[in-house]
Amino acid sequence: MGFAWESKATQASLSPRKVHRVALLFNANQIYDREIIDGIGDYFRSTRVDWDIFVEDDINARLNGLSKWEGDGIIANFDDPTIYNALRGSKVPVVAVGGSYEDPQMYPTTLPYVATDNFKLIKMAQEHLIEASLPHLALYSLPESPMNRWAQEREKAFQKLEPKGRIYRGATSSAQNWGDALAQLIDWISSLPKPVGIIATNDNRARHLMQACSTAGISVPEEVAIVGIDNDPLTHSLLRIGLSSVRQGTTEMGRTAARFLHELLQGARLQGIQVIVPPAGLNALASTLHTQAYSPMVMRAMHFIRQNACHGVRAEQVASYAGVSRSTLESSFRTNLGTTVHSILLKHRLEVACDLLRNSDLTLVEISKRSGFKTTQYMHVAFKRELATTPSEWRERAMN
């Protein structure tokens, strides 16, 4: 029938109750969809709803079997036009999930709709960059397409907030055109007045910005500060510089959508109701730690440190990359930063180690390797001297 059975609600032990068959139409390859599913699961686990939940890995298989599926309710991502069109005239209760719209007529009128607040997502990113004293702001979006309506809504929000801000949509990334797309993205970034803060419509676009800056030797965040949207752990794992990112209220969206479907299955009438969910917060990391403009030499050195500190580079290698002697670089660091090259290298390695301690189950041996410490013992000594604790104690406190 096109649906794979994923889980089954606990059967009532005393008197049988109707078990509702519920389909979730989402793309589990996307962090946004996965977190909404997590919210639905949270509602499922915390209530006594009797649901058989159906999820299919292949979105086409789900839609192809939908007309023959004998189910009771559906929660679906209406940002996908194929899903929206497939569910028109559905005979079973449907709860729609998607992005917010500037035009009220864009919302479905016959279904309950739970939306992420596109305006507030951009506003939170904009305010974060303004607080970092960035004099210029820009937006890196996606090509106009029915699949990218959410991105176009974020463009509208940015235009309202920053009428003079520049927007670049770029190309849809693929293996065939990535070289040309990267070159064009570098040209756009290079054309922007510096320093500049760039909001990416999602973390994947933020990763493209990071790659373009790295390829072109543009310093992040001294010249270009970058903030994404989604706080996607997978994207973060592919970057050498920590990415600041807005966290969407996706888990709350999932819980709300599940509650709406629960009420619909009990006979409630929720046609046309809309709930707009604000962002859950912003995870501020190194990509937006913009400070005052330093000399080109110092910015070049800082760019190299952020890219290579975890590879065990030494101060001499940083000076070589900056094109000056170590003594000249040390003098510039003391003047501009009030510290030494070695201290900045150590600070960056400690930041990476702390992030791994908090967000991974890696052993201390593996963390010391990944964060650029020569040995676990050296990492232990650095933690004691700089943070007055051990790596194990730091992890334990971070988990509580």
C-beta separation of 26 from 76 below 8 A: yes
> Is the confidence at residue 293, as pLDDT, over 60?
no
Least confident of 15-19, 116-120, 393-397: 15-19
125-135 confidence digits (pLDDT tens)? 999 998 888 88
Cα 400 to its chain centre, rounded Å, is 24
pLDDT at 308: 85
Mean pLDDT of 18-25: 91
Mean pLDDT of 68-80: 89
C-beta separation of 341 from 325 below 8 A: no
CA dist 357 and 392 (Å) reads 8
H helical segments located in 113-219: 118-131, 149-161, 178-191, 203-216
182-215 confidence digits (pLDDT tens)? 999 999 999 999 999 999 999 999 999 999 999 9
Specify the DSSP element, H or E, that contains 104.
Answer: none
Mean pLDDT of 128-155: 93
Residue environment code for 284-322, b if the CB has 16+ CB neighbours within 10 A, otherwise e: bbbbbbbeeebeebbbbbbbbbbbbbbeebebebbbebb
More confident residue, 64 or 122: 122
Segment of 66-75, 83-92, 163-172, 305-314 carrying the highest mean pLDDT: 163-172
Least confident of 18-32, 95-109, 164-178, 327-341: 164-178
Q: Which of 18, 21, 27 is nearest to 8 (CA)?
A: 21
DSSP string, 157-185: HHHHH-TT-EEE------TTTHHHHHHHH
Token readout for 206 is: 């933020």
C-beta separation of 332 from 310 below 8 A: no
More confident residue, 289 or 34: 34
Band (pLDDT 50/70/90 cuts) for residue 89 is confident
Count of CA atoms in the C-beta half-sphere (13 A) of 246: 26
> Is the confidence at residue 354, as pLDDT, over 70?
yes
Count of CA atoms in the C-beta half-sphere (13 A) of 197: 28
CA dist 113 and 167 (Å) reads 29
What percentage of residues in the chain have a pLDDT greater than 90? 63
Mean pLDDT of 131-160: 94
pTM for the model stands at: 0.75
C-beta separation of 356 from 370 below 8 A: yes
264-273 confidence digits (pLDDT tens)? 999 999 988 9
Count of CA atoms in the C-beta half-sphere (13 A) of 126: 19
pLDDT at 1: 39
pLDDT at 14: 43
Residue environment code for 181-215, b if the CB has 16+ CB neighbours within 10 A, otherwise e: bbeebbebbeebebbbbbbbbbbbbbbbbbbbbbe
pLDDT at 9: 42
Mapped onto helix, strand or coil, the DSSP state of residue 367 is helix
Mean pLDDT of 354-381: 91
C-beta separation of 252 from 219 below 8 A: no
| Domains of the chain listed by start with CATH number | 5-115+250-279 (3.40.50.2300), 118-247+284-288 (3.40.50.2300), 296-399 (1.10.10.60)
What phi-psi label fits residue 15: left (phi over 0), alpha (psi between -120 and 50 degrees) or beta? Answer: beta
